[in-house]
Every structure is written in C-alpha cells, then in structure tokens.
A = this chain, B = another copy of it.
Amino acid sequence: MSRVTCDLTVSLDGFVAGPHQSLQMPLGERGETLHRWQFEEREANAAQVEGILAAGAFIMGRNMFAGPGPGPWDAEWRGWWDEEPPYRAPVYVLTHHVREPLEMQGGTTFHFINDGIEAALALARNAAGAKDVAIAGGASTARQFLSAGLIDELRLHIAPVILGGGERLLDGVGNLELEPTSVSGTGLVTHVTYSVGGVKE
C-alpha cells in the first residue's frame, strides 16, 4: 500500500508561519524567510523539492486552497496558483462547503470533500495507486492527520530562522512515535525525515 507523507517547512522554534497572518501576509511576519531554501538554493535542494511533488494524490486544508476565512466559496476563486498548479494529480480539499471538482491544466484536479479526513484519505489512496499520498498542508491539516496516526513519514525542512511567534506545527499532536531515518542540509535548511509509528499513550 502506498504511504502517507507530509512535507513541512518550519522555523527552528517550530513555527510554520510567523505572527499576524493576513490575506496580504499569508505566512505572517518574516514567514516567507522560511522558504528561502526552495528558491535561493533550488538546485542544491532539488531532490527535496521534487519529493514534495512526487505523490500520486494530495490532501490539503481549505485555507491552503482558499486563504483565511470560513464561509461559502467564491466561485471565481481557482486557488493560489496559476491555471497550471504544480501538483499534476488529484488534490482533495477538506472543506465544509462542497463544490464541483475544478479541473486545471497539467493534470491537477481539485476535489472538495466535506466528510472528514479519513474519507478524503480513502479517495486519495484510491487515486494514488502505487504512489504516495501527500498531506500538502497547512499546519492544522497536518496536525489532524498526525494526531489520528495517519501519517507514515514526516519530512521536516527546518529553516535556520527564529520567528518568535505564529502558528506552531506540533502543538497538541500527542506523543508521536518518531524515528529519524535521514538527515541532510544546506546553509538555508536542514532536512530531517521521520518515520512515524503512530501516537503512544
């Protein structure tokens, strides 16, 4: 069976976004500095960037697709990406508001799921075939899957940045059974892959 993976970039003090997130500043104050490794050192980190997009299906939270704020969809909104999102596979968006699937160019189709993370995972597994299913974020979606013991591999990309506030990745996820299986890095990031055995008592 395919694995469930999750890639997340965090600050050294454990935040996935800085303080004061807003539509204008979706990653909060200095949050964009977390991701310098993906842009300024793309070549040195090519394997990790490729790994993030290698899955056969993706699951993401509503905010990752639509930005902050609850409520019904603006039918004009087609995601944060352009007409050819980088996923090139089915993407299951967790939401309270169903909507018709949205087929983009390049193989990405957004499906809107309102019956919970396990239902979304079943659909994603089915779509992924032998490939992995990736939990694409955001942090609260990753926390839900971690807490439920549904993630097999957590790949943290630790940026050498201290944000001092914001949204923490691991608050409240419980006593996860973790084993580091690989580690590497550059001047702008440390990659650590954890095998996740579930939640211990």
Contact = CB atoms under 8 A, between A and B. Distances in A.
Interface of A: 12-14, 30, 156, 158, 160-162, 164, 168, 170-176, 178-181, 183-187, 189-190, 192, 194
Contact of A160 (B162, B168, B178, B186): B178
A185 B175 contact: no
How many copies are assembled? Answer: 2
Nearest to A165: B171
Contact of A185 (B161, B162, B183): B183
A123 to B, nearest CB: 29
A167 to B, nearest CB: 13
A14 B164 CA distance: 12
B178 A12 contact: yes
B175 A160 contact: no
Given A14-B14, A183-B183, A174 B162 contact: yes
